[in-house]
Every structure is written in structure tokens, then in C-alpha cells.
Structure 1
Amino acid sequence: MPEVKFEPFLGEHCESTMLVNLLRQQGIDLSEEMVFGLGMGLGYIHWQAGAMPFPFLGGRAKPDMLAENLSAVLGVEFDVRATASAARARDNALAALTAGKLVGLKLDHYYLEYFREKRVHFHAHYATLYKVEGEDAWLVDTKGGGGGGRTSLASLDEARAAKGPMSSKNLSLTVKEGAALDGLRAQLADKLASAFFVALAANAHTYLNPPIKNMGYKGVLKTSASVGAWLDEIADPAESLPIIAMLMERAGTGGGLFRKMYGRFLQQGQSLTGMAALGVAAREFDAIAARWTEVAELIEEAGRRGKRDALAQASRLLAEISQRERAQLTTLETLARQAGAPALA
């Protein structure tokens, strides 16, 4: 049965980890932070649909956008496939493995047998398939996902087909071969600096100009305005608030992880471009990340101890975070435009 030989990378965030593995296997060696930043991954959303037991706080661009944005700024192309047929989805993955390609999969990690965190379903998790043997599959996952491991094909089918918030129909992706990939391999170093500023400008502009008030810096303010009432408005806050905090901080959806990653992206950008102001912004994002960690700790404390003052303090910190992120991204957009970053088509 098919197996792809490669050096696995175990990162911090699932989608960027998956993309690092896919790209490196095809000769495009980028750090996880560079993949996240070039993919315009920084963002925020406060989302609560009627059936959701508590709000989802997302600290990044919506799922599936990293690959699309990488294509826009670097020219790398992905073969993205989605199907309602589990059999066709499995055949697509096996065909890619047989052709010697790693396969990125979007799924609900709840069903993966190697995944230890079973408290919640999350339908926008990503992992990298590299081997199928008999009725088992092997995947590379994040450090938080234990690095991956073995799961049955039946459980993998269930994880890929699961329906819920942010799910897709058995979505998979591989790196397309051809002239675009060959050109990127040959000219990667030359393309990175211009791609860096294009991505920086576009990501900042999106964050600063959200289409609705629960996204970007306005979304952080929405969370600030609502968090103080969560002990009254969320069912079973003793259970739900620690889960919100866990998802924010350790699962990375809305906490400090993405701000730390973006700070490292800016540091790498400073090394790439020689622009000292990027180092200043990187340090500010590190400081902002620490504030996000404080917010997560306060939300967990409120759930475990019923402390309203913890939520009040979280509200004040979120208002501060919104202001600081707005200021930093305004500065970064200006710097990127001054460096000649054009608008994306």
C-alpha cells in the first residue's frame, strides 16, 4: 500500500503545519510562521450561531484561506478536492499517495484514534496523510495533536465526512506540479521579499476593515462587550468557560498562539527585508500575545470559581487588545504600502 517518505514537521497550528509539510516535500522550504504570515492568517472572529452552546472565538483567517492566499502571493498552486462520496474521497487520497504526494486533509479531530483531546468536536482541523496500509492510515499532526500517528481508515472516513461548523465535504489538497512549482523552486528567495509586503498589507487591510462588526478589531470589542455576562448567559459556565479558554489558548483559535506566530513572522520579515520597524512591531505582538493568555486564564478562572470580577478584567484587557492591534496593523499597512506593496487583484 502507498507510503510517502519524507521528514515530518510538527508545528503549532494545524493548517500551517499541514501546508509546511506539503510544501517542503515539494522543495519549497518555508517556516510555519512564514506560511502563516504569507497566508494572511492573522484575524479575529466572534461567532455564535443559535445551536452553539457558547461563542467561538477565532484568532485567525477563516479555514481554507491560507492555501488560497499563498497561491495569490507566491504563485504555488494546490489541487483542492471536495466530494460528498467517502469512497471517492478515499480514492483521491490513495491516488495522490501512490503518485508520491503527501495529502492534506480537513477533518474533525474528535474521531482520530491517536488524538487525545476528546472534549469537543472541531471540524476545521487539518492533518497530513502519508501512509495507508491495510485498514489503517498514518498522519502527521501538530505538537498539540501528539505529532499524529495511526488511525483506522474507518475512523478517518468518519472524521473527514463529519458535518458541523466550518466543515467541508471530505476536503483534501495536494501541491500541483508544473511550471509554476518549478519556477517557485528556482526563484523562491527572490519572490519572498515582495510576497512578504503584499501579504502584510492585505492582511492588515482585512483586519482593519471587517465586513461585519464581529470580525477584526471590532470583533475583539464585541467579545469585550459580551464576556462580562457569560456566567449568566452561557449554559453550564463551569464546564463551558474552561473549554472556551482551552480552545483560545491551547488549541489556538483565539488566544496568544497566532499573535506569537505573527510576531515571529515579522521578525523573519525584518531579517528578509532589513526593515527595523518590523522588529519593533514583532515585540509589540509578543506583548499582545501575553495579554491574550491573561484573558484565557481569566475566563477559565471565572468558569471554575464563578468569579465575575475575572470576566470584568477580561473585558478590560480585550478592549486594550483591540486598540493595540488596530494601532499596530495600521502602522504595518502603511509600512507595506510605502515598500511598494500593490493591492491584490
Structure 2
Amino acid sequence: MTRVLIEDYPHRRAGHCGSGALRDLIDWAGSGWDGPPSEALVFGMGGGLGFQYFQIPGLMPPIYFVGRTADMELDLCARLGIETERKQTDDAELGWSWVADELDAGRPVMVWADILELPYLRVRLSNTRHDIVVIGYDTDADIAYVVDNDRDGFQAVPLPVLAKARNSSGFPDRNRHATYPMRFPDRLPDLLPVARDAAAAAVANLHGTDQVSAGGSELHLPGGSGIFGLAGVERFCGDIARWPVELDPNDLMIALHSIRVFVEKAGTGGGLFRRLQAGFCHEVAELTGDLAFRAAADAYDTCAQTWSRLAALATTETPDHGEIALCAAKLPAAEHRAVDALAAAAG
């Protein structure tokens, strides 16, 4: 029998799977700036804020949008000097050996798993790129121990179930036992220069000028590659105003309810990741005294609040389509102001 468990792993709940998992891993490695980083600081340091909007005819809902880049996790590691790669395979035995080798060496390891296949979650939608951290396994009991941003403590998952979740062909694509072995530096780079670099990356994402990240795994769905950045926000907000005449009542209700899912419920940290970005800017300003980051924090607070208000209006019992359209019409300006403030912080 083999039983391995990394004791006292510093796990806390988080609003977003990737930044929560990386926050815990950085804390486990004993790194940070003036103490372990917050989830928001980790998210912002990834430079992953963005927007991508898909129109998918024939599916319901007929839209999909996301507020982060596909490879924020790899980009964060590259920026902080954390050595890693995303290893993928169709061979389940090889895929598990990557995990077991890390655990046997005393290192926790981040992997992708489809949320629809994880037994401790109660979800109806698939997401094959959900980040969890494996912190142990027991061959006699045939289980692995994992931590997840949506649950306290560790979860015991049967090894065959975990293997299925790690090789799912669900949405948005097959995850192929994706595994991220990491080697942490003795010391993270100085905060302010890295924060400015991350801010510049997010600005490039939203201007639609830098969509291929370190891993190059941007989304491609049946509707095409989507509309990026601020142009995508503008198209999405314009489309909302036309939904009442383009969709039948049932499809309209489904599309409106999907807004809340994508903005608040789908592991975004609230406000389509804008609340996490605001927290990043607030924390950089607090730790460094940088006034430009303080201004960017305020702008992203407003932006996040506008996205959250849209989500709330879209899911009232009797939605007011005029009010929804008016709120959506305010979003492009809020996004532009926030991006401009972030560009000033980036220098």
C-alpha cells in the first residue's frame, strides 16, 4: 500500500479556481510579498484580464463570453519565475504518473479536471479547464486527495473518477490529463515592476493586440474564435438590446439567465473577474503607495459593479428589457475608463 499526503497544505476557498489554486501553491512554497499573496493579487499578476465573446447559432444559450485569457496560469508562472509547463497526454497511466511523481517527491500539483465529473461538486455544466490541486493519494483505498477553490479542506476522489474528469471531452475541449508540475524560485521578483508588466499585458488583451499567451490555448468554439477585448464588449452590449426582437420568449429568458452564470457564478470572483482585478490594483497600491494603481482600483470597482448590476437585472422575476439595455450601454464606457486607468498604472 502507498499513502501520500502533503500535511498542512495552506488551502482557502477562492472565487476563481486558477488564482485560488496558484495562491495556495505560492503560499505552500513560502513565497509572497510582505506575506502570502491574496487571490486578487495572484489573479492580477497573471495579466489575464480580458474579454472574449462568442455567438453560437443553434446552441442554447446562443452566446458564450469569458473575462479572462485562456493561459493566465502559465503567464503568471512565467512572470514570477515559477518553472512549469502544461503536460498533456491521452495515456491515463502516463498522466497519473506525472501526478504521482510530484506527490512522491513531496510536491502538490495542479491539474485540469472537468467540474461535471467531480463528485463533490453539484453542477450541470461542463468545464474541462477547472484547476484543482492534488495533494495526496492512497493506492489501497484507490482515492486521490484534492483541494478545490469551491470547497473547504481536501476532498477524497476515487482514482478512476479523477482520471475520467482529467480526460473529459466536455466544454470547451478535451483536457487530456493536463498537469502542471512546478518549481518555485527562492524569491519572487520585486512587486511593482512585475505588477506594471502584468497590467500592461491586461491592457493589451483588452485592446485586442495580444491574444496568444504563453501557452497559446485560446478558445475556439463552434461560432468561431470569438470577438476579443473592448470590441467584444461593445458587440455583446449592442446585441443585448436586440435580443427581445431576435429571440422567442423562452430563448430570451435562457439567454438573460446565462449572463448571471457567466458574470457571477462561473468562478469569476464576481463582476466577470473585474472585482479580482480591482483587488489586485488595491493591493499593489497599498503595498507600494503607487497612486496610479489606486486610481485603476477605483475604476475597476466601478466596472465590476456595472457588470454585477447587469447580471442582477437580467435575472429578476420580470426583467425590464429597457433597463437591461441601458445598463449594458454603460459597460463599454466603464471598460474603456478602467483600461485607460490600468494603462496609466502600467506606465
SS at match of 1:45: strand
Q: Does 1:259 align with 2:265?
A: no
Which residue of 35, 38, 47 corresponds with 1:40?
Answer: 47
SS at match of 2:60: coil
Residue equivalent to 1:280: 295
Could you tell me how far 1:16 is from its partner in structure 2?
Answer: 0.7
Unaligned 5+ segments in structure 1 are 338-345
CA contact (8 A) 1:74 1:191 kept: no
Q: Does 1:110 align with 2:130?
A: no
Could you tell me how far 1:115 is from its partner in structure 2?
Answer: 0.7
Identity rate, percent: 27
Q: Does 1:58 align with 2:72?
A: no
Residue equivalent to 2:4: 2
Find the aligned partners of 2:181 and 2:57 in 1 and give their Cα distance: 35
Residue equivalent to 1:291: 306
Which residue of 220, 223, 227 corresponds with 1:214?
Answer: 227
TM-score, length-normalised on structure 2? Answer: 0.84
Equivalent AA in structure 2 for residue 326 of structure 1: H
Alpha-carbon displacement from aligned partner over 1:61-103 (angstroms, at most 9, x marks no partner): 22xx223222332222114211111121112111111111111
CA contact (8 A) 1:44 1:59 kept: yes
Residue equivalent to 2:197: 198
Find the aligned partners of 1:237 and 1:321 in 2 and give their Cα distance: 20
Q: Does 1:226 align with 2:255?
A: no
RMSD: 2.4
Identify which range, 39-48 or 270-279, moves more after superposition.
270-279
Q: How many residues align structurally?
A: 320
Give matches, 1:127-142, under 5 Å: 127-133=132-138, 134-142=141-149
Alpha-carbon displacement from aligned partner over 1:210-233 (angstroms, at most 9, x marks no partner): 568722111111111212344543
Could you tell me how far 1:49 is from its partner in structure 2?
Answer: 3.9
More helix by share: 1
Unaligned 5+ segments in structure 2 are 212-224
Could you tell me how far 1:255 is from its partner in structure 2?
Answer: 5.3
SS at match of 2:227: coil
Alpha-carbon displacement from aligned partner over 1:281-321 (angstroms, at most 9, x marks no partner): 212211221111111122223xx54x4x33x4333323322
Query: Structure 1 254/35 Cα, relative in aligned 2: closer, same or farther at 3 Å?
Result: closer
Q: Does 1:314 align with 2:329?
A: no
Q: Does 1:326 align with 2:321?
A: no
4+ long deviations beyond 6 Å: none
CA contact (8 A) 1:59 1:255 kept: no
Identify which range, 239-248 or 74-83, moves more after superposition.
239-248
Equivalent AA in structure 1 for residue 103 of structure 2: L
Give matches, 1:172-191, under 5 Å: 172-176=179-183, 181-182=185-186, 185=187, 188=188, 191=190
Could you tell me how far 1:254 is from its partner in structure 2?
Answer: 9.3
TM-score, length-normalised on structure 1? Answer: 0.84
